[in-house]
């Protein structure tokens, strides 16, 4: 599957759909897009991960970046993660600091 | 045993990963184990690509050796700056997200996911070896 991401911002919520792989090759591109949102009114970042097959530490760093660079109260949601991706997130301890859910309701 | 030598550039990462992924599949690892091998391998390779050769181009050599017990040994060699990734402190996985340091997570995954990990510096080469057992 081709790897890419789709970013949609509405008000205080940024939604990012992740497709394929989030690794060292393409994570910097996503980080550049998220950088543009830093300092804005965004207080919630929702990653849709149903089609994400693989996430490496480079991808996890983007998640950390999203949390650290948005407003201090920003919440991070990770929706529909596959088992392997979920395993990587839990190993890294990031599951304690984001909302891992199967679905997301606006 | 299989060997691959490529310039340490991000554009070659996919080829290196594919080389390792194919060997892991051939060895009979399951999907989860292959995922772990990929995670560990990417960390090692990206560290070299990003930091080993700050002022020149250089190569990465990957040697894959099937083990007697059906495991796989992956040896990654570079000729860059001396660097022992195992000397990095582990991240605090319990620290709040706002306080998490960005670095160290990759090496943490390498140590956690692989059964054995060794580093040595020899003849101006960094030699990082890691083994995944079935």
Read off the pLDDT of residues B41-68 as tens digits, 9 standing for 90 and up: 999 999 999 999 999 999 999 999 999 8
Q: Report which of A29, A33, A27 is spatially closest to residue A8, judged by C-alpha positions.
A: A33
Q: What is the mean pLDDT of residues A1-11?
A: 81
A 10 A CB-CB count for A84 gives 19
Read off the pLDDT of residues A16-68 as tens digits, 9 standing for 90 and up: 999 999 999 999 999 998 888 877 788 899 999 999 999 999 999 888 888 77
Please state, in angstroms and rounded to a whole number, the distance separating the CA atoms of residues A43 and A58.
23
CB contact under 8 A, B109 and A25: no
Query: Is residue B107's pLDDT more than 90?
Result: no
Beta strands in B30-103 (DSSP E): 59-66, 72-78
Asked whether this complex has an ipTM greater than 0.85, the answer is yes
A 10 A CB-CB count for A56 gives 26
Please state, in angstroms and rounded to a whole number, the distance separating the CA atoms of residues B4 and B2.
7
Q: Does A94 touch chain B (CB under 8 A)?
A: yes
H or E element in which residue B106 lies: helix B105-113
Q: Does A69 touch chain B (CB under 8 A)?
A: no
| B16 to chain A, closest Cα gap in Å | 12
Please state, in angstroms and rounded to a whole number, the distance separating the CA atoms of residues B1 and B110.
22
């Amino acid at each position: 599957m081709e790897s890419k991401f789709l970013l949609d911002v509405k008000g205080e919520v940024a939604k990012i759909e992740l497709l394929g792989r989030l690794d060292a090759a393409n994570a910097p591109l996503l980080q550049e897009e998220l950088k543009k949102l830093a300092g804005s009114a965004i207080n919630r970042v929702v990653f849709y991960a149903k089609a994400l097959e693989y996430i490496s530490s480079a991808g996890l760093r983007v998640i950390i970046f999203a949390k650290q660079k948005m407003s201090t109260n920003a919440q991070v949601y990770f929706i529909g993660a596959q088992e392997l991706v979920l395993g990587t997130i839990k190993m890294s301890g990031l599951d304690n600091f984001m909302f891992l859910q199967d679905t997301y309701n606006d | 045993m299989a060997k691959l030598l490529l310039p340490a550039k991000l554009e070659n990462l996919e080829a290196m990963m594919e080389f390792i992924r194919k060997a892991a599949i051939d060895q009979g690892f399951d999907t989860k184990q292959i995922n772990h091998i990929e995670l560990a391998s990417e960390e090692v390779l990206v560290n070299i690509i990003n930091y080993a050769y700050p002022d020149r181009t250089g190569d990465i050599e990957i040697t894959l050796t099937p083990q007697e017990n059906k495991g796989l040994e992956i040896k990654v060699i570079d000729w860059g700056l001396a660097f022992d990734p195992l000397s990095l402190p582990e991240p605090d996985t319990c620290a709040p997200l706002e306080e998490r340091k960005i670095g160290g997570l990759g090496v943490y995954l390498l140590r956690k996911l692989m059964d054995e990990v060794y580093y040595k510096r020899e003849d101006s080469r960094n030699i990082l070896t890691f083994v995944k057992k079935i």
